[in-house]
Homo-oligomer: A and B are copies of this chain.
Amino acid sequence: MDIATIIGLILGFGLIFASIAMGGGGLSPFIDAPSMMIVFGGSISAALINFPLKNVLGSFSVVLNCFFQKIPEPKALIGEFKELAQLARKDGLLALEQKSDSIEDDFMKRGIESLIGGTPADELRETMETELGCIDERHSMGKKFVDAMGAAAPAFGMIGTLIGLVQMLQSLDDPSKIGGGMAVALLTTLYGAVVANVVCIPLAGKLEARAKEETVVREMIIAGVAAIGGGATPRAVEEQLATFMAPKSRADVGAEAA
């Protein structure tokens, strides 16, 4: 679970509500169901036109996965692979079966189980890399979706404001209604700006960062599974996986190992 995103969202919306509260007049002038409907519903309708139905549904799961799916820690991963390599060298690949149930990450578990099942290391690496390609594509699809929502929300905000302005201008007879009418008209622009700038645009950035992180970990897993399948020593496995890490963190692993 990504803690910075939670803090950021709470902080962002908290500041907006605090700013509304400090201005006086309470929260009620800022809540308008039809305005919300046109901005949120409109963005969703644009997404439905923009993407095939299965991508729309898939993108929601990518976004959720991105926050709730646990990506294994690189350091812990190296330790786990060292243990597996030791076991495999001592008692053969079949001995990995007793450990495979305790592997938390599904991608790694399936890889190890294929090894036990007798899939040659080369073939397995290729299959896993193809799957990684699909994971990457799903991630970039998710980012594209959030980007499109971040562009659609302000556009529907503007459409809502234009509708509100036309309605207000048509009934200028009662000057006391001008202010209220304009205030309501501006709400959709405000909603669109909040959806885009507090949620979608930063979220797209986080999705990209998480996807990059996950790709590195997945590549470590592929390298680790292939190394064990090729009969590498625990030391060789460690060294190979450490090349995926930044020098600083690598030094930490070395220090712990020493």
State whether A16 and B4 are in contact (beta carbons under 8 Å apart), knowing that A11-B45, A167-B24 are contacts in the complex: no
What B residues does A187 contact at CB under 8 A?
166
Q: How many residues of A contact B (CB 8 A)?
A: 89
Indicate if the CB atoms of A30 and B163 lie closer than 8 Å: yes
What per-residue 1/0 map shows which CB atoms of A44-58 lie under 8 Å from chain B? 111111111101100
Indicate if the CB atoms of A247 and B131 lie closer than 8 Å: yes
In the complex, whether A170 has a CB less than 8 A from a CB of chain B is yes
In the complex, whether A171 has a CB less than 8 A from a CB of chain B is yes
A residues whose Cβ falls under 8 Å from a Cβ of B: 2-5, 7-9, 11-12, 15-16, 18-20, 22-25, 29-30, 34-35, 37-38, 41-42, 44-53, 55-56, 127, 130-131, 134, 148, 151-152, 155-156, 158-160, 162-173, 176, 178-180, 182-183, 186-187, 189-190, 193-194, 196-199, 201-203, 205-206, 209-210, 213, 246-248
